[in-house]
């Protein structure tokens, strides 16, 4: 089976189910509840470093196989994200199938919480597409294996704040590599998508004196940001790729780095918060390398959110510790960029290699 981009909320299309299944997931569980209409899949990819943590997304998939593919792919991504961020967490993801507007209510969320509880902590749930930190409050009535609650419930609150900070660190790291200095003063930076993360990124970049270009499909978002900050608004989404910018920061959708956009982009570097930026991880990672364009791996740059909830899971939420750990994205990113240059491999591959080495070394330490 092949799926197309439009079938998924975000991410890579044309990925055969068979190739994803060979990713060696530890466990995949399907749960159906007739009374509430809950249909959920939890995919646990790898728990060598710790319990599998990943968000729960609700999406009205046209076919249930698409949901399975999404769960398998995203849970594997979480394994790498946590491993490369140095967290004691494995990778997992929950995908809940259905129309969020028709189905989501307290009973539905509590039923989902019971399902999570039945997995005895091998999976820890969190907010994702169509699930908010306020939904977590209902889910938490049924399970202790949950993070991402609002601050008033002793949770870590809105993850976007640290995701934006991590993205800012990634941008500074690519600038250091490209220009020999991580100062962003005067650098032309294009932010695609000024939602929760993109808007906060504008704030960091404007404080550093960057020259900021923004685009978004929502004119209201553009107007709100332009009212508050000195930014150039680009209405034409396609023309955005051809801008004379130094750094491109994708903060909207996945798969925006593809055959068409690589041909148009003139920037020196790419670093942004969006998940699954490379339409084809191998092909487009290699194309960027060959074009001499520095690419900060997305799952490293946007790890601020999972770093934030990580400290919530292991005891009391510690904002200061989380902030420090997010700052480390800068150093890790430089290490990966260096490794990629040294071995002439795409940065995404260098990041995956680093994650796999860490998982393997911890596995070896346990066996020794």
Ligand X SMILES: NC(=O)c1ccc[n+]([C@@H]2O[C@H](COP(=O)([O-])OP(=O)(O)OC[C@H]3O[C@@H](n4cnc5c(N)ncnc54)[C@H](O)[C@@H]3O)[C@@H](O)[C@H]2O)c1
Distance from C-alpha of 352 to C-alpha of 357, rounded to nearest angstrom: 8
In the complex, the smallest distance separating the C-beta of residue 49 from ligand X, rounded to whole angstroms, is: 19
Report the SS3 class of residue 126: coil
* 215-234: contacts with ligand X (CB under 6 A): 215-218, 221
Per the CB < 8 A criterion, the answer to whether 335 and 354 are in contact is yes
- Look-up of token digits 């907010």: 127
If binding is defined by CB under 6 A, does position 195 make contact with ligand X?
yes
Phi-psi region of 120 (alpha: psi -120 to 50; beta: other; left: phi over 0): left
Which range touches ligand X (CB under 6 A), out of 25-33, 273-281, 327-335, 354-362? Answer: 273-281
If binding is defined by CB under 6 A, does position 130 make contact with ligand X?
no
If binding is defined by CB under 6 A, does position 155 make contact with ligand X?
no
Residue 116 counted as an annotated binding residue: no
In the complex, the smallest distance separating the C-beta of residue 230 from ligand X, rounded to whole angstroms, is: 20
Per the CB < 8 A criterion, the answer to whether 228 and 192 are in contact is no
Among 24, 39, 76, 93, the active-site one is 93
In the complex, the smallest distance separating the C-beta of residue 344 from ligand X, rounded to whole angstroms, is: 29
If binding is defined by CB under 6 A, does position 249 make contact with ligand X?
no
* Residue count, binding to ligand X (CB under 6 A): 25
If binding is defined by CB under 6 A, does position 305 make contact with ligand X?
yes
In the complex, the smallest distance separating the C-beta of residue 256 from ligand X, rounded to whole angstroms, is: 8
If binding is defined by CB under 6 A, does position 274 make contact with ligand X?
yes
Contact partners, residue 201, CB within 8 Å, separation at least 6: 164, 167, 168, 171, 191, 249, 251, 273
If binding is defined by CB under 6 A, does position 27 make contact with ligand X?
no
If binding is defined by CB under 6 A, does position 196 make contact with ligand X?
yes
93 included as an active-site residue: yes
Residue 174 counted as an annotated binding residue: no
Strand order in the sheet with 294-295: 231-233, 211-215, 188-192, 247-250, 269-270, 294-295
Alpha helices per DSSP H over the chain:
17-21, 64-84, 100-103, 106-117, 133-139, 160-179, 196-207, 219-228, 237-240, 259-264, 281-291, 298-301, 304-313, 319-327, 329-343, 347-367
In the complex, residue closest to ligand X by CB: 195
The total number of residues written for the chain in this structure:
368
Which range touches ligand X (CB under 6 A), out of 180-188, 190-198, 241-249, 261-269? Answer: 190-198
If binding is defined by CB under 6 A, does position 253 make contact with ligand X?
yes
Site residues (CB under 6 A) for ligand X?
10, 159-160, 163, 192-198, 215-218, 221, 237, 251-253, 273-275, 302, 305
Residue numbers annotated as active site:
93
Annotated binding site for NAD(+): 193-198
Annotated binding site: 193-198
């Amino acid at each position: 089976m092949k799926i197309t981009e439009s079938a998924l909320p975000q991410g890579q299309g044309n990925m055969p189910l068979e190739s994803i299944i060979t990713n060696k997931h530890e466990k995949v569980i399907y749960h159906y509840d007739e009374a509430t209409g809950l249909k959920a899949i939890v995919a646990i990819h790898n728990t060598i470093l710790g319990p599998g943590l990943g968000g729960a997304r609700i999406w009205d998939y046209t076919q249930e196989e698409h949901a399975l593919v999404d769960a398998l792919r995203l849970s594997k991504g979480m394994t790498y994200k946590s491993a490369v961020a140095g967290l004691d967490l494995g990778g997992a993801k929950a995908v809940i199938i259905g129309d969020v507007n028709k189905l989501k209510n307290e009973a539905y969320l509590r039923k989902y919480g019971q399902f999570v509880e039945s997995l005895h902590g091998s999976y820890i749930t969190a907010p994702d597409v169509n699930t908010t930190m306020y939904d977590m409050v209902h889910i938490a009535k049924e399970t202790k294996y949950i993070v991402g609650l609002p601050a008033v419930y002793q949770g870590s609150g809105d993850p976007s704040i640290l995701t934006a900070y991590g993205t800012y660190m990634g941008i500074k790291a690519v600038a250091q590599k490209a220009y020999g200095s991580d100062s962003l003063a005067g650098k032309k930076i294009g932010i695609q998508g000024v939602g929760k993360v993109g808007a906060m990124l504008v704030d960091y970049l404007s404080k550093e004196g960057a020259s900021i270009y923004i685009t978004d499909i929502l004119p209201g978002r553009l107007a709100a940001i332009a009212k508050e900050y000195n930014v150039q608004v680009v209405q034409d989404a396609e023309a955005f790729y051809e801008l004379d910018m130094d750094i491109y920061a994708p903060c909207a959708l996945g798969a925006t780095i593809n055959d068409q956009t690589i041909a148009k982009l003139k920037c020196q570097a790419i670093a942004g918060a969006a998940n699954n930026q490379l339409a084809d991880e191998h092909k487009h990672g290699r194309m960027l390398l060959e074009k001499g364009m520095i690419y900060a791996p997305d799952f490293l740059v946007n790890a601020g959110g999972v770093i934030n909830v990580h400290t919530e899971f292991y005891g009391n939420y510690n904002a200061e510790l989380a902030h420090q750990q997010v700052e480390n994205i800068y150093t890790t990113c430089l290490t990966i960029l260096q490794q990629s240059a040294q071995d002439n491999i795409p940065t995404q591959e260098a990041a995956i290699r680093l994650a796999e080495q860490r998982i393997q070394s911890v596995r070896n330490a346990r066996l020794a």
